[in-house]
Each structure stands twice: as C-alpha cells, then as structure tokens.
Amino acid sequence: MTPKHFLFLLLAFLSTRAFAQTQGDALRAETRLDQVYQQYNLDGSGTIVAMIERGIDYTHPDFVDADGKTRIAYIYDMINPAGANDPGNPYGVGTIFTRDQIDQALSSGTLLGSTDRFGHGTACTGIAAGDGSAMVGAPYRGAAPGAAIISVKVTHDYFPATGNIAGQAGFYNPAFLPIALQFVKDKSIELGLPVVALLNLGSIGGPTDGSSEISRAMEEFAGEGRVLICGVGDDGGAANRAADTLAQGGTSELQFRKGQAGNLRLEIWYSGDDRFGVSIVRPTGPATGALPTPATNQTSSVQGTPGITYYHRGSDQDFANADNGQRQIMVDFNGDTGVYKVFLAGNTIVDGSYFASLNPSNFYSNNAFLNHLYEGASINDFASAHNILAPTDYVFDYTYVDLDGIPRSRSGQGAQGDLWIGSSEGPTLDGRLGVDIAVPGELSIGAYSPDTYYSQFRFNMMQGSNGYYGLQNAVSGAAPTLVGVVALMLQVNPALSTEQIRTILHQTARSDAFTGATPNPSWGYGKLDAFAAVQATYATLSIENSSLEELGFSVYPNPSDGKLSYAWQGSSPGYLLKLEILDLSGKLLSSVYLNQSSGELAYDRLPRGVYLLRVTDEARNRQGISKLVLN
C-alpha cells in the first residue's frame, strides 16, 4: 500500500468510521480468541512478534511492563543513518536500539532516535501484541499481549502539517526489505525464540507471481518456528487488472481512464520470448508514435515525452529483479486526465499473453481500465510470495463511541460479515489462490500516541482511552490480529512451520453465507477461528517429547497414581517455573508456579488417563512438554 493510500484511508475512512470494541470483546468473540484465553491461558509468551512497519512509540504503556521495563527486544530504525557503522550493526544501514538502550531511555526520559510520527506502526503493533495497560481492564489489548516485540522501521508515510504537528515527507526504499527480514531472522535465532513477522505494506503492481526479488527474500525467511505474514492489500473494488493475448502481427488496444490529477502508473508483464511494440494516444494532443523496444532481454529502453515517462525492460533488466523470464513495460502518466489508449503490437510472438495493472486504482479513485478487464488479481506483489500467509479483511462491527462521548457509526464499507470493499483479491498471476484466510479488521482498535498524525483526529479515538487507543482500518488493521493468533500457536508448538500453520488455519476456518463455498480467491479458506486453530495446534504436539530434560526438570514416578515428586536443577532465588496439566485436546486443567528445587505434586483427583505436562521457564523464555500417565 502506498503512503498516499494510507493518508487517504485515514482521512476519508477513519474520520467517520465505525467501530464497536474491535480489539475488545467484540473481536475476541468474533474470532473465538476469548475462548482461547479462558481455556488455554495463552498470551504469546516465549514468542516474538516482529513488525516491519513505520516504527513504534516505545513509550506507549502497551509496550512497557508493570516494572517500567520495555517489552521491545529491538528497534531497528532503517531510516536513521546514525548507527549504520556501529559495531553491532552488520547490515550497514540504519540504527539498532537494544532492549537495554530502550530501558535506559524510559528510565532517564531521554529520547531514542526513533519513533512513529504517523501512527500506523504503533497502532498495528498494539493490535498484534499490545498489553492494553493504558486502560483499566485492558479492553484493547492485542491478540498476543505476552509476546516480545521487534520493531523494524522501513518506511515513512507522507502527511501534511496538521493541528500542532509538522508534516512529514514520504520515504520508501524497497532495498531495505530483504535486510529487514534478515535482521528479524538473525534476532530470532539470537534470542532462541520462534517469531511471527508482519510485512505491513504493499500495493498492486509488479510480477505478482512470487518471482520478484523481495518475494523471494520473503519466501526464504520462513523456517521452523519462523513465519511471515503479509496482507493481500487494499486495492480491491476497482478495474485495476487487464489481460489479453497478442497474435503474431496483431494489435491489442488497451484503454484506461485517468480520472484524477497526480501520477498513474501502468505496468505490463509479458514473456521474454515475445517482442511487443508500444505506442500511446493521449486524451488530447499528439500520439507518441512507436516507442523504443529493447532488442534483447539484457537491455532496456526509456523515453520521456510531455506527461508520460516510458520504460521498457528486458527480462534480465526488470525493476523487480524477477526470475520469471518476463519483460516489463512501465509507464508513468502525470499529465492530463481523460482516456488513454496504449497500442501493443505483436512484433515477435511465441506466447503472446500479457497482464497489466494500474496504480493507484481502488474503490475510492476514478482510475480504471475500460477494456480487457481481468477479474480479481488485485493482490499485491509481496503477498504473492511463496511460503507466507496472506490474510484479507472483513467487516464485523461499525459502531463506537469517540473520545468526546459521541456515538458514531460508519457504514458503506461492506455489509456486516462481508468482505471490506477495499480488500484485494486473488488469484496470483501464476494461478495460486493468493488469499489464505479472512480476518475481522473493520474496524480495529490499536495503540495511539500524542503528537502523531493519527492523534490529531479526536473522533477516531475511543471513549475513556485518554487518547491512548483509536481506530485502524483496512487490511492493515486485520493482519495484526492474525499475527497475534499465530504467536499463540507458536507458544503451544514453537517448532511449527509456515505450511503446518497454513494447513491448520485452512482446516479450521469457517464458512458462511458471505464466504460462499470455500476456498475461493476472495475469502481464501474462510473466516479465522482462533480457538479451533489453537485446539488443532495442540494436536501437533508429540506426547513422547522429552524436552523437560533441557529445562533441568523431571517428575517421577511416571506413570503414577497421581502423587508425584519433582526436581528442578535450574532453580535459583527469584525464579519461578510454571507447571500446567492439559488434556490431550489441549484443555488446561491445572496451573501452578514452583519456586523450589524439589517438592511434591498431587494430581490424584484427575481421572486415569494420559495428559500433557507443560513446564515454562518464563524468565528464560523456555518451555518443555512431556506426557504424564495417571493409572
């Protein structure tokens, strides 16, 4: 999603938006997260939530524990160049802030050289992992409030001077994204914890088949206990995809409307075995005539004419560094509004097919293709990566009371229970479904901070929140809830792979009258059911697991009549060990904290059978599971 898109969403949507307690009771009931917390007492402890975003306000109460210490393991501000050559920064860009540095800043009141002036990164991090502590009862806590947090700042959104704050120029460098992924991977290994990361940006364009350089880096990120999520995008509800097939010597006339001022980008991808000629007719004024075409796939062409900048690149020269063997035509139109015609000539045809996209082109803009329309496929290129999870967004509540006690309601974003009208759709351009699962995101509530662009709009902040919580919309508001749910799944089984998690989410998703028959390219496999997903995750545990030994913990005898002894070699003053008994469905039956090196346990009131014994060393972020037999 582009920075301008975010700005429009905030002004045009959030200014009148509706919400009931999306990240409160309503969201937890809709996703059955409430049952997860009640039955399993999970909170994401022992996992990392990594947000590749617009930064974070590390001073927000949601990210500070009860002792005044940060919950953030690292902040990596890739836009702040001050620490690019620091000894602890092998990446050569940006500045890395450690937990100790964040704690020192909190205790001293000095400011780190990193924050989130826009508000998007802070809000979305709160939806995923905020602890809700800025309000009594934590009604707006995130889905995984016990997870450690890594925040990677990779972009700035543009916003104008507003209220009492200065404006901000937009910044985005796609070369930062593979580095950001490597940083998160490195730190998860360093900390010895499973991680679920969210790349919370992306917009229509690019090859959209998993072949771009960034998509390949996303695919390579995944591993055991390492999961990446990217929302499908906010480009749904518009005629922004076209496709056709050229014959040898034939012509395809592609028409589109440029309905608003500013730049409009056309992209066309076609086989490297073909050679297309290109000419353009403006709404008014002269046609361009035949534009240059690269003779080989190792060359490229460029030409600027009034209001039009044209690039045509061979398959080894495309801007996305894709490995799909396709050529790229990219044209920026920044001149007159009206209907443009692009004529493609089949000079040399082996395959002949092409896909085209427009950006920006979405449900609130007036830019659109007028012919050769291709249904769906508005999913963004990043979300087309292999081996990731790609959620979409649906509407589930649209009433709320704002900071001044004014009841508000926002309709027009889709029927309650239906997809948000701006949700991008599959398939990917290599024929995969694209969308994995639908998550409630209309409307979401996340962490707000003063002196941000978000905080300038009181009508978006929640009653009784003192400005600490407010609205977050679109797919960006849905994806963080899935991040938190995956963190809960990793808390249960830290060794899960992306494919295992994907299978569980697909198999446990629910369908209804809105989703229709699933799977499909709009809804994926249906609506998220967090409780069913967590239940299914418990079923992946091996009850023969002997990892308690790694914690220095043992129980005996086992099998037992219910009266056991334990020994904990790793005990030390001030440390607690949590011991839980669960049935084989994962239902929590008993929980107790131990602080002695040895002692007695009594489970003789439990029926005879096989149980799971889960032992968690919270201070050291370690966990072991074994079976317990009572006879």
pLDDT band of 124, cuts 50, 70, 90: very high
Among the residue ranges 34-38, 321-325, 454-458, 568-572, the one predicted with the least confidence is: 568-572
Angle between helix 530-538 and 498-508 (nearest 10):
130
* Average pLDDT, integer, range 407-411: 86
- The neighbour count for residue 438, using CB atoms within 10 Å, is 30
Label residue 375 exposed, middle or buried (CB < 10 Å: 0-12, 13-18, 19+): exposed
User: For residue 55, with 0-12 CB atoms within 10 Å meaning exposed, 13-18 middle and 19 or more buried, which class applies?
Assistant: buried
**How far, rounded to the nearest angstrom, does the alpha carbon of residue 94 sit from its chain's CA centroid?**
22
Q: Does a structural domain hold residue 375?
A: no
CA 452, 458, 464, 466: dihedral to nearest 10 degrees? Answer: 30
On average, the pLDDT of the chain sits at 92
Whether the Cβ atoms of residue 147 and residue 45 lie closer than 8 Å to each other: yes
Residues 82 and 174 sit within 8 Å (Cβ to Cβ): no
Domain count, the chain: 3
The helix/strand/coil state of 140 is: coil
Do 513 and 606 belong to one domain?
no
In this prediction, residue 4 has a pLDDT band, given cuts at 50, 70 and 90, of: very low
Distances 598 to 42, 551, 576, 584, 625 between C-alpha atoms, Å: 26, 14, 13, 26, 18
pTM, rounded to two decimals: 0.85
Position 25 scores a pLDDT of: 81
The answer to whether position 40 is within a domain reads yes
Distance CA 94, CA 561 (A): 59
For residue 227, tell me if it sits in a domain: yes
Judge whether residue 344 has pLDDT over 90. yes
Q: Which domain holds residue 595?
A: 547-630
d(CA 414, CA 442): 9
Which among 422, 436, 336 is positioned nearest to 388, based on CA atoms?
A: 436
Structural domain includes residue 26: yes
Q: What is the pLDDT of residue 7?
A: 39
Domain boundary among 339, 369, 399: 369
Q: Residue 136: phi, psi to the nearest 5?
A: -60, 130
Helix (H, G, I), strand (E, B) or coil at 5: helix
Torsion of CA 411, 412, 416, 417, to 10 degrees: -150
Mean pLDDT, rounded, for 495-522:
96
* Structural domain includes residue 567: yes
C-alpha distances out from residue 18 to 160, 275, 305, Å? 24, 50, 45
pLDDT at residue number 9: 39
The residue among 570 and 376 whose pLDDT is bigger is 376
Residues 200 and 111 in one domain: yes
pLDDT of residue 539: 82
Domain membership flag for residue 580: yes
Answer yes or no: do 44 and 155 share one domain.
yes
> Mean of the pLDDT values across residues 340-369?
97
Higher pLDDT: 488 or 409? It is: 488
* CA gap 415, 417 in Å, rounded: 6
Same domain for 223 and 183, yes or no, is yes
Per-residue pLDDT, 552? 85
Task: Examine the domain organization and report whether 180 and 67 are in the same domain.
Answer: yes
Q: Where are the alpha helices (DSSP H) in 194-281?
A: 213-221
479 and 572 fall within a common domain: no
Q: How confident is the model at residue 542 (pLDDT cuts 50, 70, 90)?
A: low
How many other C-beta atoms can be found within 10 angstroms of the C-beta atom of residue 484? 29
- Read off the pLDDT of residues 26-56 as tens digits, 9 standing for 90 and up: 899 999 999 999 988 899 999 999 999 999 9
Which residue in 239, 314, 308, 317 sits closest to 279, CA to CA?
Answer: 308
- On whether residue 374 sits in a domain, the answer given is no
pLDDT digit string, tens, across residues 573-631: 777 888 999 876 677 888 999 888 899 999 888 887 778 888 888 776 778 888 888 87
Residue ending a domain, choose from 494, 516, 538 = 538
pLDDT of residue 3 exceeding 50, the answer is no
Is the predicted pLDDT of residue 19 greater than 60, yes or no?
no
> What is the reported pLDDT for 500?
94
Does 5 score more than 60 pLDDT? no
Residue 22 confidence class, pLDDT cut points 50, 70, 90: very low
Q: What is the 3-state secondary structure (H, E, C) of 159-192?
A: ECCECCECCECCEECCCHHHHHHHHHHHHHHHHC
Nearest 5°: the CA angle 399, 524, 489 is 80
User: Distance (Å, rounded) from C-alpha 13 to C-alpha 422?
Assistant: 11
Q: Within this chain, do residues 410 and 329 fall inside the same structural domain, yes or no? A: no
Same-domain status, 26 and 90: yes
Task: Give the 3-state secondary structure of residue 582.
Answer: strand
Give the tens place of pLDDT for each residue, 430-471: 999 999 999 999 989 999 999 999 999 999 999 999 999 999
pLDDT at 584: 66
> Would the pLDDT of 148 be above 70?
yes
Residue 585: per-residue pLDDT:
62
Residues 529, 563 within the same domain: no
CATH number of the domain bearing residue 91: 3.40.50.200
Least confident segment among 341-350, 360-369, 615-624: 615-624
331, 311 Cβ separation under 8 angstroms: yes
Do 149 and 102 have their domain in common? yes
Does residue 466 lie in a domain region? yes
Would you say residue 21 has pLDDT above 60?
no
> 444 and 394 in one domain?
yes
Same domain, 437 and 307: no
Specify the CATH number for the domain of residue 301: 2.60.120.1290
CATH of the domain at 624: 2.60.40.3080
Distance CA 304, CA 331 (A): 10
Tell which phi-psi region holds residue 478, choosing left (phi > 0), alpha (psi between -120 and 50) or beta.
alpha
Judged against a pLDDT cut of 90, whether residue 549 lies above it is answered with: no
Residue 296 has pLDDT above 60, yes or no: yes
Length reported for the chain: 631
Q: Is the pLDDT of residue 479 over 90?
A: yes
Q: Which pLDDT belongs to residue 441? A: 95
Q: Among 345, 369, 393, which residue terminates a domain?
A: 369
Helices 33-40 and 530-538 pack at an angle, to 10 degrees, of 40
Decide if 99 contacts 70 (C-beta within 8 A).
Answer: yes
In terms of Cβ atoms closer than 10 Å to its own Cβ (0-12, 13-18, 19+), residue 513 is exposed
Q: Which distant-in-sequence residues (6+ apart) come within 8 Å of 104 by Cβ?
A: 110
436 contacts 520 by C-beta, under 8 angstroms? no
